Amino acid sequence: MSEKIALITGAAQGIGLACAQALAEDGCKVVLSDIQENVHAAAATLGGSGYICDMGDTSQIAGMFERIEADIGPVSVLVNNAGIALPGDFLSYSLEDFGRVINVNLVGVFFATQRAANTMVAKGIHGSIVNMSSINAQVAIPAIPAYCASKGGVNQLTKAAALSLAPHGIRVNAVGPGSIDTEMMAGVNANPEALAKVMSRTPIGRVGTAREIGDTVAFLASDKASYITGETIYVDGGRLGLNYTV
Protein backbone atom coordinates (compact mmCIF):
# COMPACT_ATOMS: atom_id res chain seq x y z
CA MET A 1 0.00 0.00 0.00
CA SER A 2 3.05 2.25 0.28
CA GLU A 3 2.58 5.61 -1.43
CA LYS A 4 -0.79 4.72 -2.95
CA ILE A 5 -3.19 7.66 -2.96
CA ALA A 6 -6.35 6.77 -1.03
CA LEU A 7 -9.43 8.99 -1.11
CA ILE A 8 -11.92 8.52 1.72
CA THR A 9 -15.22 10.40 1.56
CA GLY A 10 -17.16 11.45 4.64
CA ALA A 11 -13.90 11.24 6.56
CA ALA A 12 -13.99 14.14 9.00
CA GLN A 13 -15.05 11.84 11.83
CA GLY A 14 -16.42 8.42 12.77
CA ILE A 15 -16.07 5.48 10.41
CA GLY A 16 -14.59 7.56 7.60
CA LEU A 17 -11.82 8.91 9.79
CA ALA A 18 -11.13 5.40 11.12
CA CYS A 19 -10.79 4.17 7.52
CA ALA A 20 -8.33 6.97 6.79
CA GLN A 21 -6.31 6.13 9.91
CA ALA A 22 -6.08 2.45 8.97
CA LEU A 23 -5.04 3.23 5.39
CA ALA A 24 -2.48 5.79 6.55
CA GLU A 25 -0.93 3.23 8.88
CA ASP A 26 -0.67 0.86 5.91
CA GLY A 27 1.39 3.46 4.07
CA CYS A 28 -1.19 5.20 1.88
CA LYS A 29 -1.15 8.90 1.14
CA VAL A 30 -4.60 9.68 2.48
CA VAL A 31 -6.95 12.27 1.06
CA LEU A 32 -9.99 13.01 3.19
CA SER A 33 -13.14 14.65 1.87
CA ASP A 34 -16.22 15.79 3.75
CA ILE A 35 -18.92 18.43 3.67
CA GLN A 36 -17.64 19.67 7.04
CA GLU A 37 -14.83 22.19 7.39
CA ASN A 38 -13.07 20.15 10.09
CA VAL A 39 -11.96 17.70 7.41
CA HIS A 40 -8.83 19.83 7.00
CA ALA A 41 -7.86 19.39 10.66
CA ALA A 42 -8.66 15.67 10.52
CA ALA A 43 -6.47 15.23 7.45
CA ALA A 44 -3.61 17.16 9.05
CA THR A 45 -3.48 14.72 11.97
CA LEU A 46 -2.73 11.94 9.46
CA GLY A 47 -0.30 13.90 7.33
CA GLY A 48 -2.86 13.91 4.54
CA SER A 49 -4.91 16.40 2.57
CA GLY A 50 -8.47 17.55 3.10
CA TYR A 51 -11.08 18.63 0.54
CA ILE A 52 -14.59 19.99 1.02
CA CYS A 53 -17.16 18.14 -1.09
CA ASP A 54 -20.90 17.48 -1.00
CA MET A 55 -21.22 13.92 -2.27
CA GLY A 56 -24.79 14.65 -3.30
CA ASP A 57 -23.53 17.10 -5.93
CA THR A 58 -21.87 15.48 -8.93
CA SER A 59 -20.31 18.74 -10.09
CA GLN A 60 -18.53 19.04 -6.73
CA ILE A 61 -17.37 15.43 -6.97
CA ALA A 62 -15.94 16.00 -10.45
CA GLY A 63 -14.20 19.16 -9.29
CA MET A 64 -12.74 17.39 -6.26
CA PHE A 65 -11.18 14.65 -8.41
CA GLU A 66 -9.70 17.24 -10.74
CA ARG A 67 -8.13 19.10 -7.82
CA ILE A 68 -6.76 15.94 -6.23
CA GLU A 69 -5.21 14.78 -9.50
CA ALA A 70 -3.65 18.20 -10.06
CA ASP A 71 -2.41 18.60 -6.46
CA ILE A 72 -1.37 15.04 -5.56
CA GLY A 73 -1.94 12.53 -8.33
CA PRO A 74 -4.43 9.84 -9.44
CA VAL A 75 -6.42 7.98 -6.83
CA SER A 76 -5.71 4.26 -6.64
CA VAL A 77 -7.85 3.50 -3.57
CA LEU A 78 -11.35 4.95 -3.23
CA VAL A 79 -13.47 4.52 -0.12
CA ASN A 80 -17.05 5.68 -0.71
CA ASN A 81 -18.01 6.22 2.92
CA ALA A 82 -20.07 9.43 2.94
CA GLY A 83 -23.72 8.84 3.74
CA ILE A 84 -26.83 10.28 5.38
CA ALA A 85 -30.01 8.74 6.82
CA LEU A 86 -32.72 11.43 7.34
CA PRO A 87 -35.21 9.38 9.40
CA GLY A 88 -38.95 9.97 9.17
CA ASP A 89 -42.38 8.34 9.07
CA PHE A 90 -42.94 6.34 5.88
CA LEU A 91 -46.40 7.72 5.15
CA SER A 92 -45.24 11.31 5.35
CA TYR A 93 -41.65 10.88 4.14
CA SER A 94 -40.91 13.68 1.69
CA LEU A 95 -39.73 13.04 -1.85
CA GLU A 96 -37.12 15.74 -1.27
CA ASP A 97 -35.57 13.85 1.67
CA PHE A 98 -35.77 10.57 -0.21
CA GLY A 99 -33.97 12.09 -3.18
CA ARG A 100 -31.30 13.71 -1.01
CA VAL A 101 -30.43 10.39 0.64
CA ILE A 102 -30.33 8.56 -2.70
CA ASN A 103 -28.16 11.30 -4.23
CA VAL A 104 -25.55 11.12 -1.48
CA ASN A 105 -25.63 7.41 -0.69
CA LEU A 106 -26.08 5.93 -4.15
CA VAL A 107 -25.75 8.43 -7.01
CA GLY A 108 -22.63 9.93 -5.41
CA VAL A 109 -21.14 6.47 -4.95
CA PHE A 110 -21.80 5.60 -8.59
CA PHE A 111 -20.39 8.86 -9.90
CA ALA A 112 -17.25 8.75 -7.73
CA THR A 113 -16.66 5.10 -8.62
CA GLN A 114 -17.05 5.81 -12.32
CA ARG A 115 -14.81 8.89 -12.15
CA ALA A 116 -12.07 7.13 -10.21
CA ALA A 117 -12.26 4.02 -12.40
CA ASN A 118 -11.92 5.99 -15.64
CA THR A 119 -8.64 7.46 -14.45
CA MET A 120 -7.43 4.10 -13.17
CA VAL A 121 -8.14 2.51 -16.56
CA ALA A 122 -6.52 5.36 -18.47
CA LYS A 123 -3.36 5.17 -16.37
CA GLY A 124 -3.21 1.38 -16.01
CA ILE A 125 -3.75 1.49 -12.24
CA HIS A 126 -4.92 -1.76 -10.69
CA GLY A 127 -6.93 -0.01 -8.03
CA SER A 128 -9.39 -0.91 -5.32
CA ILE A 129 -12.76 0.64 -4.52
CA VAL A 130 -14.57 -0.02 -1.24
CA ASN A 131 -18.16 1.12 -0.76
CA MET A 132 -19.83 1.57 2.62
CA SER A 133 -22.98 -0.52 2.76
CA SER A 134 -24.91 -1.51 5.90
CA ILE A 135 -26.79 -4.43 7.38
CA ASN A 136 -29.80 -2.30 6.41
CA ALA A 137 -29.18 -3.41 2.85
CA GLN A 138 -30.77 -6.66 4.06
CA VAL A 139 -32.70 -5.88 7.25
CA ALA A 140 -35.00 -2.87 7.19
CA ILE A 141 -35.86 -0.19 9.72
CA PRO A 142 -39.18 1.52 8.93
CA ALA A 143 -38.00 4.97 10.00
CA ILE A 144 -35.19 5.11 7.40
CA PRO A 145 -36.75 3.92 4.12
CA ALA A 146 -34.45 5.92 1.84
CA TYR A 147 -31.33 4.78 3.70
CA CYS A 148 -32.37 1.12 3.43
CA ALA A 149 -33.11 1.53 -0.29
CA SER A 150 -29.79 3.29 -0.90
CA LYS A 151 -27.72 0.62 0.83
CA GLY A 152 -29.48 -2.16 -1.05
CA GLY A 153 -28.55 -0.24 -4.18
CA VAL A 154 -24.93 0.06 -3.03
CA ASN A 155 -24.68 -3.73 -2.78
CA GLN A 156 -25.93 -4.25 -6.32
CA LEU A 157 -23.84 -1.38 -7.67
CA THR A 158 -20.79 -2.97 -6.04
CA LYS A 159 -21.46 -6.23 -7.88
CA ALA A 160 -22.10 -4.54 -11.23
CA ALA A 161 -18.99 -2.37 -10.94
CA ALA A 162 -16.86 -5.33 -9.89
CA LEU A 163 -17.91 -7.30 -12.97
CA SER A 164 -17.37 -4.33 -15.28
CA LEU A 165 -13.96 -3.38 -13.89
CA ALA A 166 -12.42 -6.82 -13.26
CA PRO A 167 -10.90 -6.98 -16.78
CA HIS A 168 -9.03 -3.77 -15.94
CA GLY A 169 -7.57 -5.15 -12.72
CA ILE A 170 -9.81 -2.99 -10.52
CA ARG A 171 -11.53 -4.62 -7.56
CA VAL A 172 -14.79 -3.32 -6.06
CA ASN A 173 -16.13 -4.48 -2.69
CA ALA A 174 -18.33 -3.22 0.12
CA VAL A 175 -18.40 -3.30 3.90
CA GLY A 176 -21.71 -3.53 5.78
CA PRO A 177 -21.47 -2.30 9.38
CA GLY A 178 -23.87 -3.36 12.08
CA SER A 179 -24.23 -1.37 15.32
CA ILE A 180 -21.05 0.70 15.55
CA ASP A 181 -20.05 3.06 18.36
CA THR A 182 -20.21 6.37 16.51
CA GLU A 183 -22.14 9.60 17.01
CA MET A 184 -25.17 7.93 15.40
CA MET A 185 -25.17 5.41 18.27
CA ALA A 186 -24.77 8.01 21.03
CA GLY A 187 -28.50 8.18 21.79
CA VAL A 188 -28.77 4.39 21.99
CA ASN A 189 -25.69 4.07 24.21
CA ALA A 190 -27.17 6.60 26.64
CA ASN A 191 -30.45 4.66 26.91
CA PRO A 192 -30.07 1.33 28.79
CA GLU A 193 -33.34 -0.03 27.40
CA ALA A 194 -32.43 0.83 23.82
CA LEU A 195 -28.91 -0.56 24.24
CA ALA A 196 -30.30 -3.81 25.68
CA LYS A 197 -32.52 -4.14 22.59
CA VAL A 198 -29.49 -3.70 20.32
CA MET A 199 -27.51 -6.26 22.30
CA SER A 200 -30.39 -8.75 22.07
CA ARG A 201 -29.78 -8.90 18.33
CA THR A 202 -25.97 -8.84 18.48
CA PRO A 203 -24.63 -12.34 19.26
CA ILE A 204 -21.11 -11.11 20.01
CA GLY A 205 -22.58 -9.05 22.85
CA ARG A 206 -21.19 -5.56 22.22
CA VAL A 207 -21.27 -2.71 19.74
CA GLY A 208 -18.48 -2.55 17.20
CA THR A 209 -15.85 0.15 16.91
CA ALA A 210 -15.20 2.45 13.99
CA ARG A 211 -11.67 1.11 13.81
CA GLU A 212 -12.98 -2.42 13.26
CA ILE A 213 -14.71 -1.11 10.14
CA GLY A 214 -11.59 0.80 9.13
CA ASP A 215 -9.42 -2.30 9.41
CA THR A 216 -11.84 -4.28 7.23
CA VAL A 217 -11.80 -1.54 4.61
CA ALA A 218 -7.98 -1.43 4.67
CA PHE A 219 -7.87 -5.21 4.20
CA LEU A 220 -10.18 -5.07 1.17
CA ALA A 221 -8.14 -2.23 -0.30
CA SER A 222 -4.89 -4.17 0.05
CA ASP A 223 -3.29 -6.95 -1.96
CA LYS A 224 -4.18 -9.33 0.86
CA ALA A 225 -7.67 -9.28 -0.68
CA SER A 226 -6.40 -9.62 -4.25
CA TYR A 227 -8.87 -12.42 -5.14
CA ILE A 228 -11.91 -10.76 -3.59
CA THR A 229 -14.21 -8.60 -5.70
CA GLY A 230 -17.96 -7.99 -5.88
CA GLU A 231 -18.43 -8.94 -2.23
CA THR A 232 -20.04 -7.25 0.76
CA ILE A 233 -18.43 -8.15 4.07
CA TYR A 234 -20.75 -7.61 7.01
CA VAL A 235 -19.04 -6.47 10.20
CA ASP A 236 -22.01 -6.83 12.51
CA GLY A 237 -21.14 -9.06 15.47
CA GLY A 238 -23.18 -11.90 13.99
CA ARG A 239 -26.40 -9.90 13.58
CA LEU A 240 -27.37 -11.18 10.13
CA GLY A 241 -26.90 -14.79 11.19
CA LEU A 242 -29.56 -14.38 13.89
CA ASN A 243 -33.12 -15.18 12.89
CA TYR A 244 -34.80 -13.93 16.06
CA THR A 245 -34.38 -11.48 18.92
CA VAL A 246 -34.77 -12.20 22.62
Catalytic residues: 147
Q: How far apart are CA 7 and CA 20, in angstroms?
A: 8
How far apart (Å, rounded) are the C-alpha atoms in residues 129 and 170? 8
What angle (nearest 5°) sits at the alpha carbon of residue 15, between those of residues 83 and 7? 75
Give long-range contacts, CB 8 A cutoff, 24+ apart: 199-203. Answer: 200/245, 200/246, 201/239, 201/242, 201/245, 202/178, 202/236, 202/237, 202/238, 202/239, 203/237, 203/238, 203/239, 203/241, 203/242
